[in-house]
Amino acid sequence: MTQLTDLGVKAIRDGVAAGEFSAREVAEAFNANVAAAKDLNAFIVATPEKALEAAAKVDADRAAGEPLASMAGVPIGMKDLFATKGVQTTAASHILDHFIPEYESAVSQKLWDAGAGMLGKLNMDQFAMGSSNETSFYGNVISPWRRKDGGNAPLAPGGSSGGSSTAVSARLCPAATGTDTGGSIRQPAAFTGICGIKPTYGRCSRWGIVAFASSLDQAGPMARSVEDCAIMLGAMAGFDPKDSTSLDMPVPDWAGALNADLRGKRVGIPREYRMDGMDAEIAASWDQGVAWLKDAGAEVVDISLPHTKYALPAYYIVAPAEASSNLARYDGVRYGLREMPERANLQEMYAATRAAGFGDEVKRRILIGTYVLSAGFYDAYYTQAMKVRTLIQRDFAAAFERCDVILAPTAPSAAFALGEKSDDPIAMYLNDVFAVPASLAGLPAMSVPAGLNSEGLPLGLQIIGKTFDEQGVLDAGLAIEQRAGFAARPERWW
Amino acid sequence: MSVDRKTVAKIASLARIEMDGDALDRMVPEFNNILAWVEQLGEVDTSGVEPMTAVIPQALRLRDDVVDADPLTGGGIRDKVLANAPAPEHGFFGVPKVIE
């Protein structure tokens, strides 16, 4: 018999509905995998009782003949950026020590309402700032993947949703939530051979998600198939009056409308993404992706996104600026850590608390953000970056006159070793070079596994779609998934 | 443009992050590397370009002008608001003395 923990979202939901196994059996199987995988450090807090409680409800509903919702019986991992009522939520930062929310985030509530259960809170880069999961106060997450050179160097699971990518890839959960500010769903998905989609900005409510850069932050699902992502995104998305940028529009039935027939569709290949010194294996997998989409019936067109090289520097002004403002709330007064040196006054208490509570990368970004927003520098840095952001959005608008979706690599390399880039912030930032432009323009984008490189590590392909066209992104993702036939999985060593 | 130790110390003070001498010594070169890198944006001709104000254009909604329009974000939940405070006192947030 197939192991329950090898099943994805759809297979579990359908199996529970058909009575092939109970939701309780599924929850128990995943709880056991979570408990046995401490070496991966994917979870900050495990909540096996929550998973069992949700499963019991689903099993009881089924026994009573009640209708089952779209995620009924599916236990998931919850990134620790989502406030979960009664369960510690820290954004992987010391400054949120012992924070137990009194409320549930909009997205997690929707998932519970859809019948999902919580296996635990997933580790991540502190405040979602990082691309390797090395900035967490709770320690590095280790990728379940290893290079096939026998060296066993611990590899980065990507970031910031590194606990999510590791947990899904290692079969600790069939799916997990992620959040993407500048690639934090797509890059970790690519590094670990799974799928992940960031929807159009505003599709998923930000209410109850610890804020990093509010004009960029979007939640999305991470799972092992395109269809599982479509099902879970359907459960996460939807209008929320509590988020002023929430999109007030219906949620389409993405999963029901999935269609890998791309005849009549045009796929744009942005020439600026083919950068000097590009990794040959990344270039080859991109070419393979083009061939797959042609095989699915799409027409391939050459497009230009002229301001691509300015996207990352613009992002590293806009995101820190917003972060410096958002993170001003951590003051040692209302929640989380308080550092109270002898005879400190209020200002000294703030400064001591923030010095002790924030990690180095978070401090770097707060300082950069404070600087670019400070008197005399605002126009030169922040206003200029927001003008460049307008130009990047115009680039995409012009390109989408000529194509329906864009195909590009997700990341410039396969997973790197932990420690390899952690001393050089800019080298780390460059990892998001292909992911950040779509974030700045608020566009839906997803990563799907394309294959393994010569080291035996997964490579991802990225599909970027028009505003509101998650369907086009998922459809092209499905066409790639069907042709890539990606079945590789990390060999268990943990 | 490169910034000196004094400027970084001033920024840290504005951001209310205490930094000792060692922390400043580490931060100054990192700060300057990042600034030098983002300064390539100066190459872009943005004359006549409006800065982005909303990534997806939409009208800002107003909530109903009534008390507790949304029970989740309304009033009357003092104990919940204080539940995570490090030093609550008499139903308020406690802070170090601010008036001598």
The answer to whether the CB atoms of A334 and B84 lie below 8 A apart is: yes
The answer to whether the CB atoms of B15 and A202 lie below 8 A apart is: no
In a domain, A50, yes or no: yes
Phi and psi dihedrals of A283, rounded to 5?
-60, -40
Taken as a whole, chain B contains a residue count of 100
In a domain, B74, yes or no: no
CA distance A313 to chain B (A): 5
Among A399, A428, A153, A85, smallest CA distance to A267 is for: A399
In a domain, B23, yes or no: yes
Let me know if A160 is a catalytic residue. Answer: yes
Residues 297-316 of chain A with CB under 8 A from chain B are 307, 309-310, 313-314, 316
Collapse the DSSP code of A122 into the 3-class scheme (helix H, G, I; strand E, B; otherwise coil) and give the result: strand
Give the mean pLDDT of A180-204. 98
What's the DSSP call for residue A445? Answer: E
CA distance A40 to chain B (A): 30
- Is the Cβ of A334 closer than 8 Å to some Cβ of chain B? yes
Do A351 and B20 meet the contact criterion of CB atoms below 8 Å apart? no
In a domain, A368, yes or no: no
- pLDDT(B96) > 70: yes
Q: What is the distance of C-alpha A79 from the center of its chain?
A: 9
Among A480, A445, A448, A444, smallest CA distance to A461 is for: A448
Alpha-carbon span A210 to A229, nearest angstrom: 22
Query: Given CA atoms A199, A200, A205, A206 in this order, what sign does their dihedral have?
Result: positive
Q: How many CB atoms lie within 10 A of CB A208?
A: 24
Token pair, residue A15, equals 């199996």
Q: Using only the alpha carbons of chain A, give its radius of gyration.
A: 21
Q: Nearest CB to B14: which of A337, A374, A440? A: A374
The answer to whether the CB atoms of A363 and B27 lie below 8 A apart is: yes
In a domain, B30, yes or no: yes
- pLDDT(A404) > 90: yes
In a domain, B26, yes or no: yes
Query: Kind and range of the H or E element at B16?
Result: none
The answer to whether the CB atoms of B60 and A307 lie below 8 A apart is: no
Number of domains in chain B: 1
Q: What per-residue confidence (pLDDT) applies to B100?
A: 67
Do A186 and A410 meet the contact criterion of CB atoms below 8 Å apart? yes
A70, A132, A143, A160: which one is catalytic?
A: A160
CA distance B74 to chain A (A): 11
What's the Cα-to-Cα distance from B93 to each of A265, A332, A338, B78, B86, rounded to whole Å?
58, 10, 12, 11, 8
Number of domains in chain A: 1
- Domain of residue A158, CATH code: 3.90.1300.10
Q: What per-residue confidence (pLDDT) applies to B65?
A: 86
Alpha-carbon span A310 to A314, nearest angstrom: 6
Alpha-carbon span A31 to A55, nearest angstrom: 12
- pLDDT(B62) > 90: no
Give the mean pLDDT of A212-235. 98
- Is the Cβ of A379 closer than 8 Å to some Cβ of chain B? no
Q: How many CB atoms lie within 10 A of CB A433?
A: 19
State the pTM of this model. Answer: 0.97
In a domain, A420, yes or no: no
Q: What per-residue confidence (pLDDT) applies to B40?
A: 95
Q: What per-residue confidence (pLDDT) applies to B66?
A: 85
In a domain, B75, yes or no: no
Domain of residue A199, residue span: 4-263+465-484
A184, A246, A439, A447: which one is catalytic?
A: A184
CA-nearest residue to A89 within chain B is B84
- pLDDT(B75) > 90: no
Domain of residue B27, residue span: 5-43
Express as a percent the part of chain A with pLDDT over 70. Answer: 100
- pLDDT(B2) > 90: no
B-chain residues within 8 Å CB-CB of A344? 96
CA-nearest residue to A386 within chain B is B51
Chain-wide mean pLDDT for chain A? 97
The answer to whether the CB atoms of A245 and B3 lie below 8 A apart is: no
In A365-424, where do the E strands start and end? 405-409
The answer to whether the CB atoms of A426 and B98 lie below 8 A apart is: no
Let me know if A309 is a catalytic residue. Answer: no
A-chain residues within 8 Å CB-CB of B18? 348, 351-352, 354-355
Q: What per-residue confidence (pLDDT) applies to B60?
A: 85
Let me know if A79 is a catalytic residue. Answer: yes
CA distance B96 to chain A (A): 5
What band does A309 get if pLDDT is binned at 50, 70 and 90? very high
Give the mean pLDDT of B65-78. 82
Instruction: Give the tens place of pLDDT for each residue, A273-287.
Output: 998 889 999 999 999
Give the mean pLDDT of B23-45. 95
Alpha-carbon span A131 to A186, nearest angstrom: 11
The answer to whether the CB atoms of B70 and A98 lie below 8 A apart is: no
- Is the Cβ of A332 closer than 8 Å to some Cβ of chain B? yes
Q: What per-residue confidence (pLDDT) applies to A422?
A: 86
Q: What per-residue confidence (pLDDT) applies to A11?
A: 98
CA-nearest residue to A330 within chain B is B16
Cis check: omega of the bond before A160, within 30 degrees of 0: yes
What band does A183 get if pLDDT is binned at 50, 70 and 90? very high
Instruction: Give the tens place of pLDDT for each residue, A74-110.
Output: 999 999 999 999 999 999 999 999 999 999 999 999 9
Do A205 and A214 meet the contact criterion of CB atoms below 8 Å apart? no
Q: Nearest CB to B61: which of A100, A241, A332? A: A241
Instruction: Give the tens place of pLDDT for each residue, A239-267.
Output: 999 999 999 999 999 999 999 999 999 99
- pLDDT(A1) > 60: no
- pLDDT(B73) > 90: no
CA-nearest residue to A371 within chain B is B11
What band does B90 get if pLDDT is binned at 50, 70 and 90? very high
Which alpha helices (DSSP H) does A210-326 contain, by range? 226-236, 254-257, 280-295, 311-326
CA distance B67 to chain A (A): 15
